Chain A
Amino acid sequence: MNAPRNHIDTRVLDFIAAPEGKDFGSLALDVFAHQFEQNLPYQRFCLARDKTPETIRTWKAIPAVPTVAFKELELTCGPPEKVFLTSGTTRGQEKRGRHLVPDLRLYHASALAHFSQCVLPERRPLRVLSLIPDPETQPHSSLTQMAEWVMRELGTPDSRYFIDADGMHLEAFAAAVTHAQETSEPVCILAITSALVAFFDWCAVNRKTFALPSSSRIMDTGGNKGKGRPLSRNGYLQSCWKYLKVAGYYCVNEYGMTEMASQFYDHVLYNRFRKSNEPRYKIGPAWTRTLVVHPETLEEVPPGEHGILRHFDLANCGSVMAIQTDDVGYLTGEGFEIIGRTPGAEARGCALVLDEFLSAQ
């Protein structure tokens, strides 16, 4: 990885390594000051709103950048170590957003730490079966980058991909599931939701059901809207049980975006680990905050009230930490729940990684 490293990056890395007792708010203001200084398009955006490090006293007031901005300008605090691209739409003509990441260590540290907490809280390596394409197939996807890290660093050496340049290998995936069943070795499935739904359909056609060993788990991402057949979240969870015998509390949905180094997960598995019975919702790591704002006024709304999500992510230290999404949701418990994406906003995410990829075959 390239040097020299910025001092602020080190402070964020320290925060991620040991968040206990550290103050999010004061580090957020320092990260904002750093970004205001180094990220000139962002500085112009802030100045147009009369917002400067001198005038801002709380992290909530840090100007949030809409995701469309990443299509227009290079929002970075330094030369990028890596550039991630948002998925294009199925129309394929839409400009793609570019997230320039000057220091990949922050993404690495944030992604793995929160993944561990939410998907592998026991900290025991599992064999990872990935229905997310390998990074060679999708080199500009932030999701494939994360899957690769999870597989290499949190998975056992026999972890493998079932989507590559040749397509989706559902029979091989079924064989790996059978193998897990026979050896009673639990596995961790990483999947683009629509790929797993394609597997369920394959199971239905081939009249197959499997029973994964207990404490096997599934992380899915990207949703299934508009991809293949429609399937509700409950329908999805029922299928996980029907075809793989993985119970709902071992099914963790991930919500992330190319423009953010940190991700959010259902906290069901984390809760089971710490013996809590809270209903399912999304939580972010200690180095993120989420506000829900009124779509018309952009003012903060109270917990429970619907609005659009605005995320603050210290791990985005090298680009922009405050991101304004079009995603509709509400605050609940210690996190939030996402209801959907606004019509007119183009489909985001990872489901399209697969879609584009399959349509290119």
Chain B
Amino acid sequence: MPSPSPTDLSARLDALRANRIQHLVPRTARDILNCIDQAVQRWLDPASQERQEAEARLPETTGLSAAMIRHVLPLIFREYRADRIEALCVDELGCLEVLDRFVLSVSGQKRASGPPLMTHVLAGNVPGAGLDSIIFSLLVKSATLVKTSSAEPVLPVLFAGSIRDIDPDLGACLSVVSWPGGNAELEDLAYGRADMVVASGSDASLAAIRKRTRGRFIGYGHKVSFGLVTKESLTEAEEIAHKAAYDVALYDQQGCLSPQLIYVEEGGAVTPEEFAALLATGLAHWQTELPRGPVSPEVSTAIRRARDEAEWQALAGKDIVLHASPNGTDWTMVYDADPTFVQSPLYRTIRVKPLRDITQLGGILEAWRPYLEAVGVAAGPERIAILADTLGALGVSRVCPIGTMQLPPLGWRHGGRPRVGDLVRWVGIEE
């Protein structure tokens, strides 16, 4: 996708604002939702042109294998079906209609509306990331400019195409663009003229975007996530290891919700080290089902380095075990008795570390507090709430069953914040 010229981008922004008044403001949220649902239904149909084109093009742009793309596309879009979106709106706003008119509330009447123009900056580490905020943006009747990442320019463009195809008027309120980062002129326009900017990316890129933003700014920075297996759940160790391996394999561990490390509590039916071996078996399984994509020489070298370090530390007598794919760097599992949290080189490289006691986590993770996002947990129901409180106090916003880490439900409060609720402003009429 070629970069727009400043003149072109400026004209697009004007057109988006005008189209909103003509096509979005008069429309009901339910009508918009129905239109989005039709687009989503196309994406859920394996025979649709959209799906075919995405399956053909995404392996190249994302670096994920064709099997992985075929696997994740329905998982991405199933969350965007109308009933789920409406349920989320009911949860966060009370009802869908509150986006159209004043409705009764505890202290009179209230109405919610989105900003006239929103700019969304997508990170592109995993395909489909950020589609939800595009959908929410249209739903709250904001004209929507999307800047895709150069790493993943395909899916947002194709999805916008589906909407335009189904309803050209709605499609005219959504525009997808891309340019290489650092273009001050374009960024001043795109961020400076929007009433709200929603951005995902590294802390550095968020800071750069925020600086140019005149309206409200919502930023989602890079995060780290991990897995946690309690001792009582280890009676099902094999199944849990299989699910944990799926979390590692999905999107080749590129998501902020992908586990970087898995803690296993000691004292269960199997030892953490035995669990680690089961996890390696799981990774080998998923490599045949959902092969990893090709990686750059830098990534290969970083993974090799992690392996070499583990192998030589083990030779030096440390309590470390390395399991790795026989050829290449497809998957790597390192069991390391030292519970310190360390980041993974990713692309299916995972460390398993033992915990004597869950209460150790507080000390271990203190330094990571600002970056923690999700924890995939295997635990008995009686411990979940206590665990979630402990993890929540560490800054974790999402506690989910292991095996679903990279499959957040639509209602996931990303960064601990409401999704649609964060985009609207309320007006109330008191009796």
Contacts and interface: CB of A to CB of B under 8 A. Distances in A.
The residue among A44, A71, A296, A306 with the most chain B CB atoms within 10 A of its own CB is A296
Contact of B312 (A73, A307, A328): A73
Interface in B287-309: 295, 297-298, 300-302, 304-305, 308-309
B301 A345 contact: yes
A296 B308 contact: no
Contact of B301 (A41, A44, A72, A295): A295
Interface string A319-361: 0000010101000000000000011110000000000000000
Contacts of B311: 45, 48
Given A72-B312, A73-B312, A73-B315, A326 B328 contact: no
Interface string A290-315: 00000111100000001110000000
B115 interface: no
Contact of A307 (B297, B298, B329, B345): B297
B301 A68 contact: no
Interface size bracket, B side: 10 to 19
A295 B301 CA distance: 6
Nearest to A75: B312
Interface string B322-334: 0000011100000
Contacts of A44: 315
Given A66-B305, A68-B305, A342 B297 contact: yes
A41 B318 CA distance: 13
A114 B410 CA distance: 65
A306 B345 CA distance: 22
B313 interface: yes
A255 B309 CA distance: 24
Contacts of B47: none
A146 interface: no
Interface in A18-49: 41, 44-45, 48
Contact of B328 (A66, A69, A72, A296): A296
Contacts of A48: 311
B316 A73 contact: yes
Contacts of A324: 308
B144 to A, nearest CB: 35
Contact of B300 (A69, A73, A296, A343): A296
A326 B299 CA distance: 11
A68 B308 contact: yes
B85 to A, nearest CB: 41
A71 B302 CA distance: 17
Contacts of B328: 296-297
Nearest to B327: A297
A72 B302 contact: no
Nearest to B318: A72
Nearest to A341: B301
Contacts of B300: 295-296
A306 B300 CA distance: 13
Nearest to A307: B297
A324 B311 CA distance: 14
Given A295-B300, A296-B329, A326 B316 contact: no
Q: Of B297, B301, B308, B311, which is in contact with the most chain A CB atoms at under 10 Å from its CB?
A: B301
B316 A72 contact: yes
A337 to B, nearest CB: 16
B312 A66 contact: yes
A324 B309 CA distance: 13
A84 B316 CA distance: 19
Nearest to B294: A296
6 contacts: A41-B315, A72-B312, A72-B315, A296-B297, A296-B300, A345-B301
